[in-house]
């Protein structure tokens, strides 16, 4: 047992090593960012496929669309119209207003009213963009104090999609600037006694009460070497086709909006006109205003900037007030441990199952479980690596399965070759040597001894030649040669051997192997039957002292097959009771392969053959018998005989 365990451990170690190399390659691929894009795609799809959430009642979007531009007759929207809209909105008593429109310059002739509203509205926040290159920077409305000016910088990933939000950054002047979403959340939550806590550095943790906003880092989630300057956060888009109430500028100016819609809410004003380039790509939302209007909800969608601000603001206030979880990730070490675990599972499946089809099915089942687990964790707002874990599972499992199969096949081939070689030597040269040893007590002439040695030499050479021919050509004559022809050949060749027991035999009853003509046998079973017949005949030639009769009986009744070798030698009877060697083991292995039974028993030849001087009750001779039931292939049961086939139809 210990040797078996060590041999099995050696096979597992040899087969598991390639799987471990594959896991290492997957880890290296992730470290270099080679699977980053695939992980982003899986992440976006999981976010989009989450269960639908309720509409957020705390945020209202005022989208200035193409009809609004046509109504006012120009773009940008004049200051007078913006002032009129803001005045109406303030009368509805919202908690915070976000103006997601650049307005550093006057538009139209009436700027005074617009300026007054900007100065006096303590809950109004405007935007600017900050960039090291002044040509890309846009100033805020000059009337707004600096504490009500937010940055509107958007961070896009290398594939051009929006997944992150910049919350805070330090500008060239040394001042820390906050995003529009953070300032709106600050104003909204301040009315409920929840204050913003932040240090004097942009990358310090941001707190609202007891809620900490998880800061995005260089290697957060599947990101590798990402630019994580300032204080960023992953956007947990609200999972709803229409997550926020949306009204137009025209609806506000014409009084179609009820005051209850905006009272104590956050109102975000922005552009939702297709002619204005204020869109970003995303695949993480169920729907957007633009794709809803176009009727297009394909793999990626265009989201307006005002929608992006609404999602970013919504996730903060809902995390603080309603404990809606923000997106979290594991520490990098735990992520690679997670990948290693799934890779080891693949290796274990490849080693244990030892079948390509079973391994494939199990890997497919485990892959589905892995995707289900990752999807469930996304629902709980935990982003764990799925793609590298899936690659490690499948690649390591398949690689291990193939290497393990090859190792086992090689080991089995070596074992089978050794076994076949020994069987060939046992049934050939060893039988000749045994016969020579039995004749040492007798006076053997030099000529007879020479002939025996020549026969032994020829048998040894034939063993090598037959084994070498099979290994070199890969051909197995037992595959294509009929079993009847093989058995006749073995019978004739064995009886021609110089064995003492054959000298006294006077009666040879010719065998009839034709009953086995259509018997369904594999190549190994054919070879086993031939060796069984050869071994039984050799035992008669070596041990059947005084045998005068040899009979080989082959029968087949329905599906019950039988092969008997019968003699009447007294010495063979003694051999039956005391001898147990390789031939017996061969016969028992063959019987197990055929699902049958092997037995060697005494036989009352007098009763059967009426041999002179032998009473019917006196046992004399041995029956070496192999019986088995033929098992036909399953498809033969589907083939029914034609009932008309028995009748010959002639014209």
260, 350: one domain: no
196, 343: one domain: no
Q: Which of the given ranges, 247-251, 290-294, 605-609, has the highest pLDDT on average?
A: 247-251
Judged by DSSP in three states, 614 sits in coil
Q: Which of 347, 377, 406 is the last residue of a domain?
A: 406
Q: What is the pLDDT of residue 264?
A: 94
Q: What is the pLDDT of residue 612?
A: 40
Q: Give mean pLDDT, residues 293-312.
A: 81
187, 308: one domain: yes
Q: Give mean pLDDT, residues 337-361.
A: 88
Q: Give mean pLDDT, residues 531-558.
A: 86
Question: Could you report the per-residue pLDDT of 21-36, keeping only the tens digit for each?
Answer: 999 999 999 999 999 9
Please, what is the average pLDDT of the chain? Answer: 83
Q: What is the pLDDT of residue 275?
A: 87
Residue 451 has pLDDT above 80, yes or no: no
Residue 426 has pLDDT above 50, yes or no: yes
What is the side-by-side strand order in the sheet with 597-602? 507-509, 549-557, 560-567, 622-629, 597-602
Write out the two tokens for 536: 């039984």
Buried-state track 190-219, b at ≥16 Cβ within 10 A, e below 16: eeeebebebeeebbeebbbeeeebbbbeeb
Q: What is the pLDDT of residue 630?
A: 82
Instruction: Give backbone dihedrals phi and psi of 416, rounded to 5 degrees, phi first.
Output: -65, -40
**Does residue 518 belong to any structural domain of this protein?**
yes
277, 381: one domain: no
Who's near 152: CB < 8 A, 6+ residues apart?
Answer: 100, 102, 127, 128, 129, 179, 180, 305, 309
Q: Give mean pLDDT, residues 484-510.
A: 83
Residue 300 has pLDDT above 80, yes or no: no
Q: What is the pLDDT of residue 441?
A: 58
Q: What is the pLDDT of residue 614?
A: 42
Q: Which of 328, 354, 387 is the last residue of a domain?
A: 328
Contact assessment for residue 529 and residue 483, using Cβ atoms and an 8 Å cutoff = yes
Q: What is the pLDDT of residue 479?
A: 82
Contact assessment for residue 498 and residue 453, using Cβ atoms and an 8 Å cutoff = no
Contact assessment for residue 403 and residue 346, using Cβ atoms and an 8 Å cutoff = no
Q: Which of the given ranges, 399-413, 453-467, 496-510, 583-597, has the highest pLDDT on average?
A: 583-597
401, 301: one domain: no
> Whole-model pTM?
0.68
Per-residue pLDDT band for 634 (boundaries 50, 70, 90) equals: low
Least confident residue range of 195-209, 536-550, 637-651 = 637-651
**Does residue 563 belong to any structural domain of this protein?**
yes
Q: What is the pLDDT of residue 118?
A: 93
Q: What is the pLDDT of residue 265?
A: 95
Q: Give mean pLDDT, residues 302-311.
A: 94
Instruction: Give backbone dihedrals phi and psi of 583, rounded to 5 degrees, phi first.
Output: -60, -40
Q: Give mean pLDDT, residues 305-321.
A: 95
- Measured distance CA(155)–CA(228) in Å, rounded: 10
Residue 648 has pLDDT above 80, yes or no: no
Residue 462 has pLDDT above 80, yes or no: no
Buried-state track 416-432, b at ≥16 Cβ within 10 A, e below 16: eeeebeebbbbbbbbbb
**Does residue 91 belong to any structural domain of this protein?**
yes
Residue 297 has pLDDT above 80, yes or no: no
379, 348: one domain: yes
- Measured distance CA(455)–CA(430) in Å, rounded: 12
Q: What is the pLDDT of residue 613?
A: 42
Helix H or strand E encompassing 622: strand 622-629
**Does residue 421 belong to any structural domain of this protein?**
no
Question: Could you report the per-residue pLDDT of 113-146, keeping only the tens digit for each?
Answer: 999 999 999 999 999 987 755 566 788 888 999 9
Q: What is the pLDDT of residue 290?
A: 82
Instruction: Give backbone dihedrals phi and psi of 93, rounded to 5 degrees, phi first.
Output: 60, 55
What is the side-by-side strand order in the sheet with 59-64? 149-151, 124-128, 96-99, 266-271, 59-64, 246-248
Q: Give mean pLDDT, residues 64-91.
A: 92
CA dihedral 428, 432, 437, 442 (to 10 degrees): 160
> Domain holding 625: CATH number?
3.30.565.10
- Provide the residue range defining the domain that includes 635: 477-651
Question: Could you report the per-residue pLDDT of 222-236, keeping only the tens digit for each?
Answer: 999 999 989 999 999
Residue 617 has pLDDT above 60, yes or no: no
Q: Which of 370, 387, 406 is the last residue of a domain?
A: 406
Per-residue pLDDT band for 414 (boundaries 50, 70, 90) equals: low
Residue 298 has pLDDT above 60, yes or no: no
**Does residue 579 belong to any structural domain of this protein?**
yes
Residue 92 has pLDDT above 70, yes or no: yes
**Does residue 439 belong to any structural domain of this protein?**
no
Residue 474 has pLDDT above 60, yes or no: no
**Does residue 314 belong to any structural domain of this protein?**
yes
Least confident residue range of 296-305, 491-500, 548-557, 582-591 = 296-305
Q: What is the pLDDT of residue 400?
A: 83
123, 248: one domain: yes
The tally of domains found in the chain comes to: 3
If one compares 220 and 14, the residue with the highest pLDDT of the two is 220
Q: What is the pLDDT of residue 608?
A: 45
259, 119: one domain: yes
Q: What is the pLDDT of residue 94?
A: 95
182, 310: one domain: yes
315, 341: one domain: no
Q: Give mean pLDDT, residues 630-649.
A: 51
Instruction: Please give the radius of gyration of the chain, using alpha carbons only, rounded to the nearest integer.
Output: 45
Write out the two tokens for 372: 């289900």
Least confident residue range of 22-36, 243-257, 475-489, 599-613 = 599-613
Q: What is the pLDDT of residue 543?
A: 78
74, 156: one domain: yes
**Does residue 393 belong to any structural domain of this protein?**
yes
323, 339: one domain: no
How many Cβ atoms are within 10 Å of 228's Cβ, its own excluded? 17
């Amino acid at each position: 047992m210990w040797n078996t365990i060590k041999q099995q451990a050696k096979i597992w170690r040899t087969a598991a090593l390639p799987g471990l190399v594959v896991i290492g390659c997957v880890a290296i691929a992730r470290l270099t960012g080679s699977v980053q894009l695939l992980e982003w795609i899986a992440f976006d799809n999981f976010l989009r496929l989450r269960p639908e959430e309720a509409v957020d009642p705390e945020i209202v979007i005022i989208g200035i669309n193409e009809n609004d531009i046509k109504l006012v007759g120009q773009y940008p929207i004049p200051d007078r119209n913006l002032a009129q809209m803001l005045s109406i909105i303030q009368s509805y008593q919202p908690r915070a207003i976000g103006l997601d429109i650049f307005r550093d310059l006057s538009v139209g002739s009436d700027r005074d009213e617009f300026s007054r509203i900007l100065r006096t509205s303590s809950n109004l926040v405007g935007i600017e963009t900050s960039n090291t290159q002044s040509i890309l920077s846009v100033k805020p409305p000059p009337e707004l104090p600096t504490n009500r000016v937010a940055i509107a910088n958007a961070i896009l990933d290398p594939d051009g999609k929006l997944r992150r939000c910049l919350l805070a950054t330090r500008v060239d002047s040394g001042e820390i600037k906050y995003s529009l979403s953070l300032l709106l959340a600050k104003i909204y939550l301040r009315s409920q006694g929840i204050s913003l806590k932040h240090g004097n550095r942009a990358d310090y943790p941001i707190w609202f009460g007891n809620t900490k906003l998880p800061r995005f880092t260089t290697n957060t989630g599947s990101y590798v070497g990402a630019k994580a300057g300032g204080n960023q956060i992953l956007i947990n888009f609200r999972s709803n086709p229409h997550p926020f109430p949306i009204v137009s500028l025209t609806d506000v100016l014409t009084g179609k909006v009820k005051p209850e819609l905006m009272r104590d809410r956050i109102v975000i004003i922005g552009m939702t006109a297709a002619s204005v380039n204020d869109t970003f790509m995303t695949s993480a939302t169920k729907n957007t205003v633009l794709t809803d209007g176009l009727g297009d909800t394909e793999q990626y969608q265009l989201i307006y900037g005002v929608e992006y601000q609404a999602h970013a603001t919504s996730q903060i206030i809902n995390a603080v007030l309603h404990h809606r979880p923000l997106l979290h990730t594991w520490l990098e070490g735990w992520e690679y441990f997670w990948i290693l675990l799934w890779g080891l599972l693949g290796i274990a499946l490849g080693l244990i199952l030892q079948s390509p089809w079973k391994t494939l099915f199990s890997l497919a089942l485990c892959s589905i479980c892995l995707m289900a687990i990752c999807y469930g964790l996304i629902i709980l707002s935990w982003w764990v690596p799925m793609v590298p874990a899936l690659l490690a599972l499948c690649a390591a499992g398949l690689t291990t399965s193939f290497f393990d199969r090859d190792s086992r096949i090689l080991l089995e081939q070596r074992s089978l070759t050794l076994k076949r070689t020994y069987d060939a030597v046992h049934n050939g040269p060893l039988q000749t040597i045994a016969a020579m040893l039995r004749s040492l007590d007798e006076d053997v002439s030099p000529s007879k001894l020479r002939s025996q040695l020549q026969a032994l030499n020829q048998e040894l050479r034939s063993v090598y030649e037959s084994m070498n021919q099979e290994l070199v050509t890969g051909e197995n004559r037992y595959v294509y040669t009929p079993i009847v022809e093989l058995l006749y050949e073995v019978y004739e060749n064995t009886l021609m051997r110089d064995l003492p027991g054959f000298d006294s035999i006077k009666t040879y009853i010719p065998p009839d192997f034709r009953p086995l003509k259509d018997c369904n046998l594999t190549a190994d079973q054919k070879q086993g039957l031939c060796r069984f017949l050869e071994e039984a005949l050799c035992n008669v030639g070596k041990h059947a002292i005084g045998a005068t009769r040899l009979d080989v009986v082959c029968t087949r009744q329905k599906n019950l097959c039988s092969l008997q070798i019968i003699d009447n030698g007294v010495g063979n009877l003694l051999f039956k009771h005391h001898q147990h060697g390789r031939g017996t083991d061969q016969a028992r292995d063959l019987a197990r392969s055929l699902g049958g039974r092997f037995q060697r028993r005494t036989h009352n030849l007098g009763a059967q053959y009426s041999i002179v001087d032998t009473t019917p009750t006196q046992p004399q001779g041995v029956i070496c018998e192999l019986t088995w039931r033929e098992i036909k292939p399953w498809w033969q049961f589907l083939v029914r005989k034609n009932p008309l086939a028995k009748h010959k139809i002639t014209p």
